[in-house]
Structure 1
């Protein structure tokens, strides 16, 4: 970390709704950051559980933590409230069930301080963790940087809402998070939405290290899927309205990738028919998906689980119990792996099954160059 001057204040903002199960773990990961010049603003978004009580208890031990409260209005509103009460030069959002590994803020601030003013957002890589905080074997990693608007339309390569550090001036310019999605019962893409609006005006920078733990909670997945799709339609529809000059094929490719993502979510939720429908729609929109090894692996596993469903439901009372059982064996390899090993493993992994990724990258490079003036 640079020395010789006072390090900038980072405002950590945490929206929390019925978060008693994980808020303490999340807060402890924040206050244990190696970067110490922080303030932490938790907004209790009308929780009906012990969320506020837990935050108050931890705040008594660490004066950097402030609890704000409001009636339930959604994550976007809660984040905007935290930003309005914050004082930091940089804003670092984290969801109430995710975690940061100790060097996350230090490396993100280092990256921001060494970047030009045209860089408005930095992000790091994420590992997916389960309810117990253990690695699942899925990761969010991208090397996209600079002018990223076109690649970001294609897919939310940051992966989640806990992976970035944002200049306050950027958030002020784009007028904060979009509360309309909650109003229209279309939550799920608020993070993607604000990343897109920032990318229209600023460049991005990446820290190629796994510094975020993105928690996957199966208990709420099933009911959220239709809402997530509605959220995607509204966010990308707004982009298309603002930028009709971008070829329609970009939006089609984006939809194909999102349908592939929804197919995975549907399978994990036990909705096997919906999974196949999403896979079909992904392939129908963009036949490049035929070169994606995940399509075949995912389809095969889905069909096997679908055929075995009468047996699994006979033994386990519901899909959630079945998913928890599978997790004991499915990613055992990743249970003991050290975070420091992941970069090496990733580089080795990229040598395989990468024809789809290479062709997708060629597409992105071409269109990003042709439409770089947009951002």
Structure 2
């Protein structure tokens, strides 16, 4: 009989972290699963590492294809999956041992539930906890809530009934940012399924100072692509929420710019445009808006003073 849970790990040049990620799967309290690890054309030792691990565990299947991007790679895994439930893990993230058990129990007690997720703890590149934990809304989530932010944080946090992919389709292969959020919006809207979180940390998300996470302009462009896709099937929702949702996203980019230590004017530009988009962000999460504004404009003022002193 096929296992109830199918796990999909897309891997690209992940030789330094993939073994730990797979170990976090093998450490699960639920052991009845199948794992598809798909090498997306890596140029390092990722494939060799995967093959060595798979030789020791018959539940692990390794697939390799030419580089096609993370969405196409995840989609290939979905096509291979046999389980009633499908879940994902990125090649540098980690699961806590009770993650699968918690989601299975959540699904069994909520038959209308389409997607389950949990809280996320953030770790740095060395795998050490940063002290930050996701605080997203967990219940009563509607499409409008997803336009404001991604409550799941990362694809590694998704636990999905297989039939939802059959009804709503797979991940969009023409997106390089927010492809998981685009799928969530589409799935919830088209299937009328319920998405709900568990109020416990179930995974650890590795943050990065480089790559896509730091490419703020690309993230802004990707967000606009997301809105365009949602508008195709829910135009009234996008029209109603676009301005304030854009303001919240720009506020996030301003906060991200400060955390990355980018030049202060970068954050100021994002924050200025956030206020220009919709001043209602002062009333939606006012504490976060105030704190982000203080840090963003405070950095700009401080560095301007320091810079001017240096010229004297």
Q: TM-score scaled by structure 1?
A: 0.74
Of the structure 1 ranges 139-148 and 253-262, higher mean CA displacement relative to structure 2 is found in 139-148
Cα contact 1:124–1:210 (8 A) shared by 2: yes
Q: Residues 101, 309 of structure 1: CA spacing in aligned structure 2 closer, same or farther, 3 A cutoff?
A: farther
Cα contact 2:6–2:33 (8 A) shared by 1: yes
Cα contact 1:147–1:199 (8 A) shared by 2: no
Q: Which residue of 2 aligns with 1:343?
A: none
Are 2:11 and 1:19 aligned? no
Shift of 1:224: 2.7
Shift of 1:146: 4.7
Alignment of 1:330-369 (within 5 A): none
SS in 2 for 1:84: helix
Alignment of 1:1-375 (within 5 A): 9-116=4-111, 118-146=112-140, 148-181=142-175, 187-200=176-189, 201=191, 202-221=193-212, 224-246=215-237, 248-271=239-262, 272-290=264-282, 292-302=286-296, 307=302
| 1-structure distance, mates of 2:185, 2:73 | 20
Cα contact 1:178–1:190 (8 A) shared by 2: yes
Of the structure 1 ranges 8-17 and 299-308, higher mean CA displacement relative to structure 2 is found in 299-308
| 2-structure distance, mates of 1:309, 1:102 | 48
Residue-by-residue CA offset, 1:297-337 (whole Å, 9 max, x unaligned): 334444565655999xxxxxxxxxxxxxxxxxxxxxxxxxx
| 2-structure distance, mates of 1:21, 1:33 | 21
Q: Residues 309, 137 of structure 1: CA spacing in aligned structure 2 closer, same or farther, 3 A cutoff?
A: farther
Q: Which residue of 2 aligns with 1:338?
A: none
Shift of 1:119: 1.7
Q: Residues 309, 178 of structure 1: CA spacing in aligned structure 2 closer, same or farther, 3 A cutoff?
A: farther
Shift of 1:64: 1.2
**CA RMSD, aligned part only?**
2.3
* Corresponding residue pairs, total: 300
Query: Can you give the 5+ residue segments of structure 1 that lack an aligned partner in the other structure?
Result: 1-5, 182-186, 312-375
Cα contact 1:111–1:205 (8 A) shared by 2: no
| 1-structure distance, mates of 2:218, 2:24 | 30
Of the structure 1 ranges 221-230 and 163-172, higher mean CA displacement relative to structure 2 is found in 221-230
| 2-structure distance, mates of 1:197, 1:221 | 23
Cα contact 1:221–1:269 (8 A) shared by 2: no
Cα contact 1:100–1:211 (8 A) shared by 2: yes
| 2-structure distance, mates of 1:174, 1:141 | 27
Shift of 1:128: 1.2
| 2-structure distance, mates of 1:276, 1:196 | 30
